[in-house]
Amino acid sequence: MDTRTPFGFHICSLPSHRKEQSDFGWDWGPAMAPAGPWQPAYILQVGPNEIHVRNSDIDIYREGQLNLIPPDQSKNWVVNASLDYIGQLPKDATMSYILIDSKDNTTVSQGQLSNITITNGAITGSTTIDSEAVELWWPAGLGAQKLYHLTVKVESYSDNRNTTVASVTKRTGFRTIILNEFPISQSQLDQGIAPGNNWHFEINGHEFYAKGSNFIPPDAFWPRVTVEKMSRLFDSVVDGNQNMLRVWVSGRTGPFSCTRLDLKRSFANFELLLVSGFWGL
């Protein structure tokens, strides 16, 4: 039975629900409008000068790099770390880091983060890593996927000893990617390219063909989304000579965000570029 309203939606009360549109029916999913908690809930107890890190973000880019503008590939890397926390941060809190090669566990770089900024609920710091100290990450078909483990610590020096208040470790890589929309250059015109603007991706300063698919929720019922199912899916993407996935509804594709799914070979050893789509929210 077709339950669509004259407006095209499957559930007529959609305007009164603050939910993504696909919950009300799409060509690949049922109209169920699920409600209620869908992630674990916790009760936390932290003492004085203790924190619980609820979210962390590592941003890696070239020195002087600006959004949407091709960066200078000869510049060093800037690593910016931000930790959102709950609790009371010690007044003398500092941040340190250690970068380890994920293949042979050798230490690539370590030290203190600078430019420390502390707000009510967040602490941020940054450092610079020599361009020659690390290898580049490339998507499938263009090169190796060099990965590193980056550990960021929040520390406090009291009672003549250094205390680790919190620690976060993430697997990451070093690469730049932009969508080049600059005007066609004279050298491109000389090659026979039509006048206008570019519209292509550049990885580490190199143009490449983006070959990929739309990645929709893999199952209408989230409990059936397993590590094995996701691993087979990503393996098939790489085996099909693809290098990019456009993640529908920005990764809400399972019991928890797809980008946080604990896969042994997450995103097929991270060979894939991901593009988030927000319009379906």
Per residue in 184-213, pLDDT tens?
Answer: 999 999 999 999 999 999 999 999 999 999
- How many angstroms separate the CA atoms of 174 and 63, rounded? 13
pLDDT confidence of residue 31: 78
What's the chain's length in residues?
281
CA distance 228 to 55: 26
Q: Hey, which bits of the chain come out as E strands?
A: 24-26, 29-31, 51-62, 77-87, 94-101, 107-112, 114-119, 122-129, 148-158, 161-172, 177-180, 200-203, 206-208, 212-215, 244-247, 273-276
* β pairing state of 177-180 and 94-101: unpaired
DSSP assignment of 169-196: EEEE----EEEE-PBPPHHHHHTTPPSS
User: Which positions of the chain have pLDDT values less than 70?
Assistant: 1-17, 38, 159, 249-270, 277-281
- Residues pairing with 214 in the sheet: 246
Closest by alpha carbon to 152, among 222, 94, 195? 94
Which amino acid is located at 44 in the chain?
L
Q: For the chain, list the domains and their CATH numbers.
A: 51-172 (2.60.40.10), 209-276 (no CATH)
Contact (Cβ atoms closer than 8 angstroms) between residue 110 and residue 95: no
pLDDT of residue 235: 86
pLDDT computed for residue 76 by the predictor: 98
Task: Say which amino acid occupies 42.
Answer: Y
User: How confident is the model at residue 7, as a pLDDT?
Assistant: 42
Report how far residue 127's alpha carbon sits from residue 243's, in angstroms, rounded to the nearest whole number.
30
